[in-house]
Structure 1
């Protein structure tokens, strides 16, 4: 018999829900990365997908290993905090580097293209 049979059904449903939510959010971030047209639009979807998707998966993992073990598993909170802090900062640095490159090459800033006057 598997050690997973020791998990109560209510906790197993919570774990499955958090893991499913995390994987769906991560998948949506990956789809957004592939489908969105410009580089600047592509920055947003993977950031949310990675941050909140990883959070859902880590919460599900914490619930499972805390239920199976004799102690509370909290070291994954540290991993989650690192992911939640570093992913948005990395994407912000990438966005600023791309904006700097566009300005150096003489391209108009994002959001000012199109007919008529630039957006304000």
Structure 2
């Protein structure tokens, strides 16, 4: 196999992007551990994981583009997939948690929907 030497500037940029992405992701993990309620904890890893993923994706694209001497965009697909799925998953998890909290009578904001009642005592099965 041929060894391809990567220029020093590319090594430095790739290394910096990977370290920045890893530190951002670590920061999101610390937010997950430190915050008290589920509603506070859900934001930290979802937002931060996407940002850390994009930093690492840029490092991957740069590394493989310089190494193969052509534009390598395969890592972009992974980052786009994560950027699309993480917010959607977070929204669904938050809605499920709010629904459960309302049904158990916890102190959460009232529902603005006409489909779901905010009152936990209103469990008669009527949705409208």
- Normalization by structure 2: what TM-score? 0.79
Q: Deviations over 1:82-104 (max 9, x none)?
A: 10111111111111100000111
Question: How far off its partner does 1:3 sit?
Answer: 4.0
Question: What is the rounded CA distance, in whole Å, between the counterparts of 1:105 and 1:3 in structure 2?
Answer: 62
> Between Structure 1 and Structure 2, how many residues are aligned?
108
Tell me how far 1:56 sits from its aligned partner: 0.7
Higher relative contact order (CA 8 A, sep 6+): 1
Give the drift of 1:32: 0.6
User: When you count helix as a share of all residues, which structure comes out higher?
Assistant: 1
Write out the 4+ residue segments of structure 1 that deviate beyond 2 Å after TM superposition. Answer: none
Structure 2's unaligned 5+ residue stretches are: 110-128
Calculate the aligned-residue CA RMSD, in Å. 1.5
After TM superposition, the score normalised by the length of structure 1 is 0.84
Larger radius of gyration: 2
Distance 2:29 2:82 in 1: 16
- Alignment partner, residue 46 of structure 2: 47
Question: Matches of 1:23 and 1:7 in 2, distance apart?
Answer: 22
Between the aligned partners of 2:38 and 2:3, the Cα distance in structure 1 is: 46
